[in-house]
Amino acid sequence: MMLHENISGQQTRKEKARAKINLTLHVGPINENGYHPLHSLVVFADIGDLLDAKLAKKFSLSMEGPFFQDTPDGEQNLILQAANFVAEKNNVNIKLAYALTKNLPIASGIGGGSADAAAALRLLSRFGDIDWSKNSKRFLPVGADVPVCYLSQTCIMEGIGEDIKPLPKRGQLAAILVNPGVGVSTKEVFEQFDREGVSSQPGLLDGSLLRMAKNGCNDLQALAIKMQPKIKTVLAEISQQKGCQLARMSGSGATCFGLFNHLENAQSAAKIISRKQPNWWCVSTLLGELE
């Protein structure tokens, strides 16, 4: 289907690139195609990067925000890679000028780059009046987390990211996200997993989000701690905060999350940790969706 650039006006549209949190992450042994099969309980935060777009003669990207200087620009940025790839593969004759406000730390295990790319594709779909929500797995060549970030909803993610099972009406969890200012290479932590990692089995997938989270674990956490010992310090700091029900690393790290019994306790914990560790990135948030 060829889409012609017949949308009038220069309106700017906006999307939030919500942070992706792996409440659990079970990693299988590498298979014959070179990938690790995953099983993950995924939720999205009510915080994230912000992306604006308007019609243009070519795809472009400008950036600002607390972490934009650490973010790849130009064609090295996943936003432009995703937009160019999907537009070409789907004969979409629309170009957008994107403006990114980078609020999330990079290489931090919360899907920032993938969430940005997914937001860029949602904007492309809105300008082009296209619905890709039922076949978001076509975005897998852009990045393994892009399909789940495109949907941006509570789900179980399996395979290498192509098998997504939404879990509606699971509510929200009060939480904090903490990154000590270090990054963990996803490639390197998976290589370490191949050398000495152990695959765990997913827990029971019933009950509340908190129960499901507690029934699982993150198979990469111990390995990431070996690579970045500060992660252990972060988890200990989170665990000792009032009302904390679970502290764990997200994804391949180094961002960790804490789940709390009340939002007020999460907000208080974020303030306490920020005062003690002013160089850490620490925010309170809600994970999941409203009923």
pLDDT digits (tens, 9 = 90+) for 99-127: 999 999 987 889 889 999 999 999 999 99
pLDDT band at 7 (very low <50, low <70, confident <90, very high): very low
Lowest mean pLDDT among 20-29, 132-141, 146-155, 275-284: 132-141
What's CA 68's distance to the chain center, in Å? 17
Reference 42, options 26, 62, 65; nearest CA is 26
* Per-residue model confidence (pLDDT) at position 39: 97
DSSP summary character for residue 65: S
**Is the per-residue pLDDT at 4 higher than 70?**
no
- Amino acid code (one letter) for 175: A
Rounded to 10°, the helix 230-239/263-276 angle is: 140
**Is the per-residue pLDDT at 165 higher than 70?**
yes
pLDDT, average across residues 137-144:
92
**Candidate list 16, 49, 116, 145, residue with the active-site label:** 145
* Per-residue model confidence (pLDDT) at position 221: 97
List of residues 6+ apart from 235 with CB closer than 8 A = 247, 248, 249, 256
284's enclosing H/E stretch is: strand 281-288
Domains and CATH numbers, the chain: 13-166 (3.30.230.10), 172-288 (3.30.70.890)
**Is the per-residue pLDDT at 33 higher than 90?**
no
* Per-residue model confidence (pLDDT) at position 290: 81
* Per-residue model confidence (pLDDT) at position 10: 66
pLDDT band at 87 (very low <50, low <70, confident <90, very high): very high
Q: Cα separations (Å) of 212 from 24, 260, 261?
A: 8, 15, 15
* Per-residue model confidence (pLDDT) at position 291: 67
pLDDT digits (tens, 9 = 90+) for 176-205: 999 999 888 889 999 999 999 999 999 877
* Tokens read off for 244: 């904390």
Q: Cα separations (Å) of 149 from 44, 86, 119, 194, 197?
A: 8, 15, 8, 26, 26
Is 16 designated active site?
no
Q: What's the mean per-residue pLDDT of the chain?
A: 92
83: helix, coil or strand? helix
- Amino acid code (one letter) for 253: G
- In percent, the amount of the chain with pLDDT more than 90 equals 81
Q: Cα separations (Å) of 34 from 190, 191, 200, 247?
A: 11, 11, 19, 31
Residue with tokens 């949602």: 122
* Per-residue model confidence (pLDDT) at position 6: 37
**Is the per-residue pLDDT at 288 higher than 60?**
yes
**Is the per-residue pLDDT at 72 higher than 80?**
no
* Per-residue model confidence (pLDDT) at position 109: 86
pLDDT, average across residues 148-164:
95
**Candidate list 20, 49, 102, 116, residue with the active-site label:** 20
- Is-contact 42 22, C-beta < 8 A? yes
